[in-house]
Amino acid sequence: MEVKLYHGSNIAVKEPRLLPNVRALDFGAGFYVTSSFDQARKWANLTARRRGTGKPVISVYEITKGKMKNGCDM
């Protein structure tokens, strides 16, 4: 079964990467996604407005549910 996940930002993210934790984030270092398109849209708008560059973009990822597990071992 495929699951759609969304990432809202001010740039398109074709291939997600984990970057070093350079600032305090809500849940620590990582690449944040949501199953809610609306939540990703809100985050994209907020990010573009805060950074003052780019435009709101929602990147969409489809992943097989069986591949999702702790540690994102894909």
Confidence of residue 68 (pLDDT cuts 50, 70, 90): low
Percent of the chain with pLDDT over 70: 81
* Cα–Cα dist 39/41, whole Å: 5
Per mean pLDDT, which range of 9-13, 45-49, 54-58, 67-71 is the poorest?
67-71
Which burial class, exposed, middle or buried, applies to 8 when counting CB atoms under 10 A from its CB (0-12, 13-18, 19+)?
buried
pLDDT digits (tens, 9 = 90+) for 30-42: 788 999 999 999 9
- Report which of residues 8 and 17 the model is more confident about: 8
